[in-house]
Amino acid sequence: MGDIIKLLPDHVANQIAAGEVVQRPASVVKELMENAIDAGATSIKLIIKDGGKVLIQVVDDGVGMSDTDARLSFERHATSKIQCAEDLFNLSTKGFRGEALASIAAIAHVELQTKPSNTEVGTHIKIEGSKIAAQEVIVTPKGTSIAVKNLFFNIPARRNFLKSNSVELRHITDEFHRVALAHPSIHFYFYNNGSELFNLPQSNYRQRIVNIFGSKTNEKLVPVEEETQVVKISGYIGKPEFAKKSRGEQYFFVNNRFIKSPYLHHAVVAAFEGLIKSENHPGYFLYLEVDPASIDINIHPTKTEIKFDDEHTLYALLRSAVKHSLGQFNVAPALDFEQ
C-alpha cells in the first residue's frame, strides 16, 4: 500500500479550527470584543444585524494595525500576544492562540478597516474563503473595525443549526454582558438592527452592574472583599431575599476574564446555605485576581474554563469571604448600635 497521509490545505485546517472556536454568532462577538480590549480600546461598539447571522461588527479605538499586520492577522497561529510557550503562564491578554481571525475568515465574509496612530492612512481588507479578495488604502480614524458577514455561508449544516434571531441575540447579549462587566473602564455601545440596546459609559464595577441590570439592582448588592497571598476577591453578591428560582446573574471573573466553574459556584452556594431555600439561586458578580502563573487558560479553545493550581484553597477562601459578607449584612443593624 502506498502513502496515504496528506497535509490539509490551510483553508480546510482553518475550517476545522473554526468548528471549535466559533459555535454561533456570540462566539464571534466574544473573540472580536476581546481583541478590541487587548488593543487597549477605551471605546468599543458592537453592531449586530439579525441575531448576528447577517452582520457582526466591532469598532474600537485601540492601537490599530499596520498594513502588514492587517494581512497577517488572518493567518493561523498569527499573534502579537505571545512569543514562546512560557508566555502562556504569564498572560495579561485575552487572546494568545492566534486562531480567532483565521477561523472566522474561513467561515464568513470579513471586512477589516484599521489604522495605527503613527500613519496618516489606514488599510481596508476584504476576505472571502480565507483569501484576501481586495485591499486598499483608506482614510479612517485610529483603531480597528471588523465586520463579519454571512456567518457559516460555506457550511450549510452549521448555518441551518443556528437558532432564531432572538435566541442568537440572547446569546450575544450574554457575551456582551460578560465582557462589559469585566471592563467597566471601557465605554461600550451595543446596537441591534439599528437601535441602541446598551450605552455603558466608563464607570466602576458596581455602577456597571447597575447600568446593565437596572437601577433596582443597586439595593440588592452586598460587597465582598478578601485579600490573601493566593487570591484577591472582590465584587458583589445578591442579598439572600433576592435569590430567584431561575439561575439569574451568576458571574465569575478570573483576572478579568469571565469563566465558568461549577466548583467555585458550589463554594458560593455553600456560603448561602441556610439563608436561601435550596430551590433558589443566589446572584453574584465575583472578581478573582490570582497570579497568572497559578492558572492554565489553555485547556479549552473558548478559554471559558481554566485550571487552577490550588482549587481547594480557592474554594475555602471564596466560601469564607462570601459567608463573611453575608454575616456582616445580616448583623448590620446591631453593629450600627455598637459604633
65 binds ligand ADP (CB under 6 A): yes
Look up residue 247 and give its three cell numbers: 439561575
What is the torsion angle, in degrees rounded to the nearest 10, for the CA atoms of residue 38, residue 41, residue 108 and residue 77?
Answer: -20
283 binds ligand ADP (CB under 6 A): no
DSSP characters over 244-285: BSS---EEEEETTEEE--HHHHHHHHHHTBTTB-TT-B--EE
Contact residue for ligand ADP among 27, 60, 269, 283 (CB under 6 A): 60
337 dihedral zone (left: phi>0; alpha: psi -120 to 50; beta): alpha
As measured in angstroms, the least distance from the Cβ of 258 to ligand ADP is 16
User: Toward ligand ADP, which CB reaches closer, 83 or 278?
Assistant: 83
Phi, psi of 266 (to 5 degrees): -60, -35
List the one residue out of 171, 172, 173, 179 whose CA is nearest residue 258.
179
As measured in angstroms, the least distance from the Cβ of 199 to Mg ion is 25
Which residue of this chain has its Cβ atom nearest to ligand ADP in the complex? 95
Q: Which helix (H) or strand (E) holds 37?
A: helix 25-38
As measured in angstroms, the least distance from the Cβ of 106 to Mg ion is 15
As measured in angstroms, the least distance from the Cβ of 252 to ligand ADP is 22
Number of residues located near ligand ADP, criterion CB under 6 A: 23
Contact residue for Mg ion among 100, 179, 182, 221 (CB under 5 A): 100
95 binds Mg ion (CB under 5 A): yes
37 binds ligand ADP (CB under 6 A): no
Dist. CA 161–CA 287, nearest whole Å:
34
Chain residues in the site for ligand ADP (CB under 6 A): 31, 35-36, 39, 60, 62-65, 73, 78-81, 95-102, 144
Chain residues in the site for Mg ion (CB under 5 A): 35, 95, 100
